[in-house]
């Protein structure tokens, strides 16, 4: 499949779905790592959990950007919001 195939809405749907999977996975990893880090008294593992949590927040930002990018054109943005992401 080449990069130009598929609609914009299909691309957005895939980005959102992937972002949600990333959020869930990173939150689970963060929880497990935080628990194990606290249990073993390891600052490094706790900070790795914080890193996983920040990765989850990055996925949230990606989803918000994608949702904004598919907005219909309006008076202020006559060409649409496609490059907002």
Residues 61-70 have pLDDT tens digits of: 999 988 888 8
pLDDT of the residue at 1: 45
36 within some domain: yes
Whole-model pTM?
Answer: 0.77
Is 75 within a domain?
Answer: no
Overall residue count recorded for the chain in this entry: 85
Q: Which residue range is the domain that position 50 belongs to?
A: 9-69
Determine, yes or no, domain membership for 2. no
Q: How many domains does the chain have?
A: 1
Which DSSP symbol is given to 76? Answer: S
CB 64 within 8 A of CB 81: no
Say if 1 falls within a structural domain: no
6-34, pLDDT tens digit by residue? 677 888 899 999 999 999 999 999 999 99
Residue 84 lies in a domain: no
Does 74 reside within a domain?
no
In a domain, 49, yes or no: yes
């Amino acid at each position: 499949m080449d990069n130009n195939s598929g609609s914009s809405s299909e691309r957005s749907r895939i980005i959102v779905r992937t972002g949600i999977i990333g959020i869930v996975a990173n939150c689970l990893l963060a929880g497990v790592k935080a628990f194990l880090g606290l249990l073993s008294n390891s600052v490094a593992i706790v900070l790795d959990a914080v890193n996983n949590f920040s990765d989850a927040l990055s996925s949230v930002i990606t989803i918000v950007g994608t949702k904004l990018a598919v907005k219909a054109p309006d008076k202020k943005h006559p060409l649409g919001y496609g490059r907002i992401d």
